[in-house]
Amino acid sequence: MKKSIRKYLFLSGLGILLIQSCSIEKFIPEGERLYTGAQLELDTIGEFKGLKDVKTELVNLIEPNPNTRFLGMRPALFFYYKAQREKPGFIYRFLNKSFGEEPVYFSEVKPEKVEELLLNRLDNNGFFYSRTSSEPVLKEKYAYVNYAATVQQPYTLENYQLDNDSLPIYRELSDLIKDTPLSKNDRFDLDLLKAERERLNFNLKQRGYYNSQANLLIFEADTNQYKNKKFDLFLRLKKEVPKKSAMPYIIDSITVYPNYSVEGDTIPKSRQNPVTVNETDFIQNEYFFKPELLETYLLFKEGDLYNANTSKITSDRLASLGSYKYVNIQYRELDTTMTDGDYGSLAADIYLAPLTKRSLRAEVQAVTKSNGFTGPGVQLTYSNRNLFKGGETLSLSTHFSYESQLSSGNNSSLSSIAYGIKGDLIFPRSIPFSPRNFRYSVPKTKISTGIDFLRRSQLFTLSSINGSFGYTWKENKYVYHQLDPVSINYSRLSNVTDEFQTILDDNPFLRRSFEQRFIAGLMYGFTYDEVSDLDKDYPIFFSTNMDIAGNLFSLLDGGSGTIVGSEYAQYAKVDADFRFYLRWGKDQSLVTRVYAGWGVPYGNSETMPFIKQFFSGGPYSVRAFDIRSLGPGNFNAQEDESTTDYFDRSGNLKLEANLEYRFPIYSYLKGAFFVDAGNVWLTGNYDELEADQRNSNFSNTLFTDGTFESDWIREVAAGFGFGARVDIQNFVIRLDLASPFRVPNRPINDRWNIPFFGDKGNKMTLNFAIGYPF
């Protein structure tokens, strides 16, 4: 009853507030009229395409914009007026600060200026000799404007040609206009002509014209030759253009300063004995970087024509070495000329300021996981940049963490200790290939090795050794590749307690997952990422990874299925992640994500290794469920065996989909509403394992309930939630609160749930995480 009364009072107050926002006339000052907007009517002479787009463009020019309306009311304006009172109260001050708008009065409107804007835009789009007019409509408290435009038939392109001249730049322009996007019958469009001029200037700078500028190119339109709204377009240089602007330049010398100091703005003083590699001089007081290696990152050499794009790519390549915090390529015009004055000469000076060679970083963490484990952690990382004076980076890190299960019940005494050491050696080149084989960016070769230990109280100790050798490189602005032709992992289970041994004996699927100690194979990852390009309103992201293991060992084991006495895993695994972003306004976006992954054990493997299986649930998955708490399928572990439940929720097939709306709240604080759905399943033939499980004391429904079938859609878990994120320069701290509305491990006719208020499964799950979920 109390809830009904509160709900009634809330709706009544909201209704009164909206009704009051309808009547704002009493707030309008004497002598002012509230501007309510404008209308535009087009009258065309002749027929032409694209009238709708033209009208949209013209409407967007009309200013100012009136106050916003909602359901015929102006609540934002109402909040503003109420906040101007002598004692507005907290609520109106807050509403005005968050949603209020200052009034737009007719006295601020300049119809004559708008007419000029409309006429100018029509001329810029080829609708010459058009006319515009305006008629204000005044009422007691309101006013609006009716605009009208008589639009003439537009002029269209007949011929596009270059004026003749003996300067070398005209030969380049003659070649460049062959690829022009302008074509016959195109409507005259000033913006297209500006874009064409920028295109020509950009390409001239790739052909040696160091001093080329777009504003030195002139377009002239001749409409006198035709009577049917046609025009000829002529391209030429401005009169009295400086000779150096119409002259190509050749790089006469290249000097590199590998240990330039930004702070002191100092250049090595000793120029007497530079080291020269392929006609490039390297000057460094203290030997910092091997010249023969650094030279391979330069994409231009002495005698080349100046190329602005090549210069930029070279700068990016040098910056990506990981050894420098500052890269600057400067060009100096030399007094001498070559080839009878047809060419100018440039000296290229490359200044490189090194990063601090050695660094030590310590991180202290307090971790709270959604599976109930909480505890402190520490990580130490030592880095040595430019280890062998060739841009190599050595990174050594060690970590230690302690976690304890805070939940009540049988798991309350569980704890874990994890520690290990890892080493990475990164070469800023692809061994054994030359960096010049990769023009866009410098490929990197990475060698990694590590040892990790995990001690789970009352259960087991898992130790592992891993190593890999591979390459990473960017093909272009959006495409990224990662290839590890060698990836090895060896794990060993020890200190197994009687309790965990019983779990393994009763669950052959889990036991087989832990028996595969050796994992060795090849991994490849492909990523196409437009998200970082803020100029795109509809960016996409696509990533796929392939992992194949055990094939080489199968050729060497002689049919035993083991290597050096230990069983190895043999499988193929692939996953794909696709995301579509719809951006609008200020920091608003709608993100759609679809994920699918599938692993197939074969050969001597009946199951995927445990660390290679898929899990669902948690802060980066279906957030209405705890991490690893979903699946497989509609499988539901027995409540009195909650310890085993942690390990069973995995599969070799995973499907997920997410929809999230992100919006700003205040300053660095962002908000989100989201819907997540997904699960994991088992695929393949598990007849032998299923028979072993029937003979155990453990529930034998794992395979029957967890197998992927044609009605899999009924076993999809789903949840709804909202979240808050603190986003400071792409460092994101995230809190998401979610609740399920579809629980797959319930009976088939009892799986739907009311989020936050239902009684099926957890009512809500709080996820704390770093970074966005996707």
> What sections of 229-365 are H helices per DSSP?
291-294, 308-319
Cβ-contact 678, 656 below 8 angstroms: yes
Which structure tokens are listed for 22? Answer: 């309808």
Instruction: Compute the distance between CA of residue 58 and CA of residue 38 in angstroms, rounded to an integer.
Output: 12
Exposure b/e, 274-308, CB count within 10 A at least 16 = b: bbebeebbbbbeeebbbbebbbbbbbbeeeebbbb
* Residue showing tokens 């994890």: 418
The phi, psi pair for 57, rounded to 5°, reads -65, -40
Of the candidates 507, 467, 460, the one whose C-alpha atom is nearest the C-alpha of residue 487 is 467
501's enclosing H/E stretch is helix 498-506
Instruction: Compute the distance between CA of residue 633 and CA of residue 713 in angstroms, rounded to an integer.
Output: 10
Confidence (pLDDT) at 341: 65
Cβ-contact 214, 239 below 8 angstroms: no
Which structure tokens are listed for 618? Answer: 């948690």
Residue type, 626: D
Q: How far apart are the first and last CA of the chain?
A: 43
Confidence (pLDDT) at 607: 87
- Mean pLDDT by runs of 10 across the 774 residues of the chain is 43 48 80 93 85 90 92 88 86 85 94 96 94 94 95 93 88 94 94 96 96 94 87 92 91 94 62 82 90 93 95 92 92 70 90 91 65 72 92 94 62 76 93 69 92 87 92 91 93 87 79 80 96 91 96 80 82 97 90 97 87 89 87 72 55 96 91 96 78 62 82 94 90 91 89 83 78 90
Instruction: Compute the distance between CA of residue 184 and CA of residue 675 in angstroms, rounded to an integer.
Output: 50
- SS3 call for 721: strand
- SS3 call for 746: coil
The phi, psi pair for 37, rounded to 5°, reads 125, -165
Confidence (pLDDT) at 330: 96
Confidence (pLDDT) at 1: 41
Q: Are strands 343-354 and 249-257 parallel, antiparallel or unpaired?
A: parallel
- SS3 call for 627: coil
Instruction: Compute the distance between CA of residue 118 and CA of residue 375 in angstroms, rounded to an integer.
Output: 65
Instruction: Compute the distance between CA of residue 458 and CA of residue 440 in angstroms, rounded to an integer.
Output: 53
SS3 content of the chain, % helix, strand, coil (to 5): 25, 40, 35
Confidence (pLDDT) at 352: 95
Count other C-beta atoms under 10 Å from residue 514's C-beta.
20
Count other C-beta atoms under 10 Å from residue 85's C-beta.
10
DSSP class per residue in 7-73: HHHHHHHHHHHHHHHH--GGGSPTT--EEEEEEEEEEESS--S-HHHHHHHHHTT--SPPPP-BTTB
DSSP 196: H
Instruction: Compute the distance between CA of residue 761 and CA of residue 717 in angstroms, rounded to an integer.
Output: 11
Instruction: Compute the distance between CA of residue 350 and CA of residue 753 in angstroms, rounded to an integer.
Output: 65
* Residue showing tokens 């205040």: 666
Of the candidates 630, 607, 633, 611, the one whose C-alpha atom is nearest the C-alpha of residue 687 is 607
Strand partners, 236: 218
Instruction: Compute the distance between CA of residue 507 and CA of residue 638 in angstroms, rounded to an integer.
Output: 13
The phi, psi pair for 168, rounded to 5°, reads -60, -30
Cβ-contact 410, 643 below 8 angstroms: yes
Which are the contacts of 50, defined by CB distance < 8 A and separation ≥ 6? 187
* Residue showing tokens 């061994």: 431
Instruction: Compute the distance between CA of residue 404 and CA of residue 414 in angstroms, rounded to an integer.
Output: 6
Confidence (pLDDT) at 388: 93
Confidence (pLDDT) at 695: 64
Alpha carbon 737 to its chain centroid, in Å, reads 24
Confidence (pLDDT) at 535: 87
Which are the contacts of 90, defined by CB distance < 8 A and separation ≥ 6? none
Instruction: Compute the distance between CA of residue 609 and CA of residue 511 in angstroms, rounded to an integer.
Output: 10
Instruction: Compute the distance between CA of residue 712 and CA of residue 176 in angstroms, rounded to an integer.
Output: 58
Instruction: Compute the distance between CA of residue 42 and CA of residue 115 in angstroms, rounded to an integer.
Output: 13
Conformational region of residue 203, where left means phi above 0, alpha means psi within -120 to 50, and beta covers everything else: alpha
Taken as a whole, the chain contains a residue count of: 774
Taking the CA of residue 341 as centre, how many other CA atoms within 13 Å lie in the half-sphere pointing to its CB?
Answer: 3
The phi, psi pair for 121, rounded to 5°, reads -70, -35
Of the candidates 114, 101, 40, 49, the one whose C-alpha atom is nearest the C-alpha of residue 75 is 101
**Structural domains of the chain, with CATH:** 2-151 (3.10.20.310), 156-246 (3.10.20), 249-354 (3.10.20.310), 357-496 (no CATH), 525-541+549-774 (2.40.160.50)
Distance (Å) of CA 106 to CA 27, 61, 656: 15, 17, 53
Cβ-contact 40, 59 below 8 angstroms: yes
Residue type, 581: Y
Strand partners, 220: 234
